[in-house]
Structure 1
Amino acid sequence: MPAQRRILVVATNVDQYQKVGYRTGLWLSELTHFWDVAEEAGHTLQLASPSGGMIPIDPESLMLSELARSAGMRSSVFKRYEDRIFMDLLNDTVNVASVDPGEFDAIYLTGGHGVMFDFPGCEPLARLIAAMYEQGRVVAAVCHGPAGLLDVRLGNGELLVQGKRVTGFSWNEEIMAKRDFAVPFGLEQELGKRGAQYSKAMLPFAPYVVEDGRLITGQNPGSAYGVAKAVLRTLRLSEPAAEPA
């Protein structure tokens, strides 16, 4: 049996854009789809956030999930949304500053536009990611979640994403989502400025996952399943070989 692993899942505390009145927060499917895959595999997950406490949900993520469910598409969002025990986990999350990196085997950064406002510039989050990566842990992010990788600097002074193959929410997707005027920066462009080898799917919003060793990124909400599967596969590969009987 594969070893049980502990995975830290980080989400935003921000519930609105700074320049416009739109509400934002966690894109719920990016949490639930990853959680479903990891939990089914027998792993333990812990929620955290930059400030600790409440994680807001982007209302549009619920609306689009309902449309998907009505069209008969696969979605676990409302099963989780109706689960009071699961949803209560979002009410009181731990602050990333209090997390011991040695207690987790992987870290997963969820998206939603809220992370663009509290992931970059969060020094405790950047230090945690750097520590986990340098300790041989898996670092993963989806959609806007790679915004949390922008300021991560390793012990040798280099940025984590420098020279790495990555993806994340594209500028074309921001335009199609009608958020290009509301976001504080373009994630695609900022990753490129830091020396990352950014790539994206040929079609906007198509699932797309990029793996560069223990760094795993997904482009958009539809990529959360793929990121989860890639994380679990990487964790299995890192398990020590069983000794012969």
Structure 2
Amino acid sequence: MKKILVVLTNTTRYRHTNEPTGLWLGEATEFVDIIHEAGYSVDYVSPKGGFVPIDPRSMKYVNKNIMESYEIGDFQQRALCKSLKPNEINPDDYVAIYYTGGHGVMWDFPNNVELQMIAKEIYNNNGFITSVCHGIAGLINIKDADGKYIIEGRNITGFTKSEEMLAGKMRFIPFLNQEITEKRGAIFQKRRAYREFVVQDGHIITGQNPFSAKAVAKMLISNLSH
């Protein structure tokens, strides 16, 4: 059975500040739990490989399942300590790619050409490109064979402008996901702040915020099961 590739950030801080950031923990663990329950395995990749920091703010929102997954040695080693480098990935091994969030991704996801090529190959092999929350930043610069943004004309979602304002990080971030996806021609959909919401348009599945990771996983599994 083919695998699902989970993309994580290497960014430790909001650039030019001492404010820490990184992976939003639950966006990885809650997604992966559903994937494992369905019988699929995952690999973890990051732009530079190796160490993946955790956004300390995400630890305030853990539950029993998130903590149990976080404490598993396999997750600590393969995801947080020894994530793979993009050049170690063979896109043919995967049926889907999943971009996790956390504010850190806004710096190292958008312009990583290697990850874009991996995502594009998975997509061209009839696989799925998926994301949650800030992870939509990984999709904003992917182009198809005709040079068109892959999200152009597509229904997508991600962390909204209102959610960003509520998070209190507007002065730190390099762009707003909602604004930049709309500039790319995407049809940005949203629901109430911090409520579970997922959108599918063809082989692109996106979730609005940290509370949407499980819904993205379930929708992906539903598609893979057909």
Q: TM-score scaled to structure 1, two decimals? A: 0.89
**Match for 1:17: what amino acid?**
Y
Among 44, 64, 69, which residue is 2:61 paired with?
64
Aligned to 1:83: 72
Q: How does 1:51-200 map to 2 (within 5 A)?
A: 51-65=48-62, 69=63, 75-89=64-78, 90-200=80-190
Q: How many residues align?
A: 225
Q: Helix, strand or coil for the counterpart of 1:162? A: coil
1:234 and 2:212 aligned: no
**Match for 1:139: what amino acid?**
I
Q: TM-score scaled to structure 2, two decimals? A: 0.97
Q: For the residues of structure 1 that align with 2:90 and 2:75, how far apart are their CA atoms?
A: 23
**Match for 2:8: what amino acid?**
A
Q: Helix, strand or coil for the counterpart of 1:21? A: coil
Among 179, 182, 195, which residue is 1:206 paired with?
195
Q: Helix, strand or coil for the counterpart of 1:210? A: strand
Specify every segment of 5 or more residues in structure 1 that has no aligned partner in the other structure, as ranges.
70-74, 238-245
**Match for 2:15: what amino acid?**
Q
Identity fraction in percent: 38
Following superposition, the deviation at residue 61 of structure 1 comes to 0.6
**Match for 1:162: what amino acid?**
E
Among 6, 12, 16, which residue is 1:15 paired with?
12
Q: For the residues of structure 1 that align with 2:122 and 2:91, how far apart are their CA atoms?
A: 6
Q: Helix, strand or coil for the counterpart of 1:7? A: strand
Following superposition, the deviation at residue 134 of structure 1 comes to 1.4
Check the 8 A contact 1:26/1:112 in 2, yes or no: yes
Aligned to 1:243: none
Q: Helix, strand or coil for the counterpart of 1:132? A: helix
RMSD between superposed Cα atoms in Å: 1.1
**Match for 1:211: what amino acid?**
Q
Among 199, 209, 223, which residue is 1:220 paired with?
209
Following superposition, the deviation at residue 135 of structure 1 comes to 1.5
The list of structure 1 runs, each at least 4 consecutive aligned residues, that deviate by more than 3 angstroms after superposition, is: none
Aligned to 1:240: none
Aligned to 1:241: none
Q: Helix, strand or coil for the counterpart of 1:105? A: strand
Specify every segment of 5 or more residues in structure 2 that has no aligned partner in the other structure, as ranges.
none
Q: Helix, strand or coil for the counterpart of 1:94? A: coil
* More moved, 4-13 vs 204-213: 4-13
Q: For the residues of structure 1 that align with 2:94 and 2:188, how far apart are their CA atoms?
A: 27
**Match for 1:37: what amino acid?**
I
Q: For the residues of structure 2 that align with 1:77 and 1:91, how far apart are their CA atoms?
A: 18
Following superposition, the deviation at residue 166 of structure 1 comes to 0.2
User: C-alpha deviations, 1:47-69, integer Å up to 9, x for none?
Assistant: 0011111111111111222xxx4
* More moved, 30-39 vs 90-99: 90-99
Q: For the residues of structure 2 that align with 1:20 and 1:37, how far apart are their CA atoms?
A: 35
Larger radius of gyration: 1
Check the 8 A contact 2:2/2:93 in 1, yes or no: no
